[in-house]
Amino acid sequence: MKLARRSVAIGALVTVLGIGVLWQGTDGFTAFTAETARREALLRAPRSLPVVVLEDQDGRIFDLQDYQGRLLAVEFIYTRCSAVCSTLGMAFKQIRDHVPQQALGRDFALLSISVDTEADTPGRLKAYADAYGADGKRWRVARVRNTAELKPLLDAFGIVVIPDGLGGFEHNAAIHLLGRDGKLALIRDINEPIPFAEKIMQWL
């Protein structure tokens, strides 16, 4: 009888410890994947983004600080990507079409940033932009001009990019929203463009 009670007590202790480890490792059960944990951490403590020089599909030079005072949707792509980047492009197109047209450019803009700074020349960025209807004003497609500045930018957004061994890259994908203060305010899955757009509309 004592042995049975001891076994039950040990089992209960193991369960409690397991729940504690799971609670700590998943941010209180809110993060069951590394990607969810990344988003939770970024939104709890929004980071100031590094100053990086960007070049868009028309060869124009700008930086993220140019968008201060406006809401800015940001996604990370590369033009040779035929899988997740196509989904990202379509998601941005849906967001653009869902947000009030009078707000585009003035109160809200979209920015696709390439993770392949060397291969994605302005010409390739232009072809990608044309494919999805990015006009270069309300929606820009750009690359980081100085390759050394790319990693700090990716780190600030929690984006991990790994060569796939076939000349391309594997990378986590999401739709990010920068608030008017230039800090991360919202992160959504790429298959949730309409809820993302509706959230933007609440803040316009």
Q: Which of 110, 125, 131, 114 is nearest to 175 (CA)?
A: 110
Contact 10, 149 (CB under 8 A): no
Q: Check the annotation: does 83 bind a ligand.
A: no
What CA–CA distance (Å, rounded) separates 144 from 132? 20
Q: Check the annotation: does 81 bind a ligand.
A: yes
Q: Which of 91, 84, 104, 97 is nearest to 192 (CA)?
A: 91
Strands 71-77 and 108-114: parallel
Tokens describing residue 159: 């984006």
Q: Where is the binding site for Cu cation, in residues?
A: 81, 85
Q: Where is the binding site, in residues?
A: 81, 85
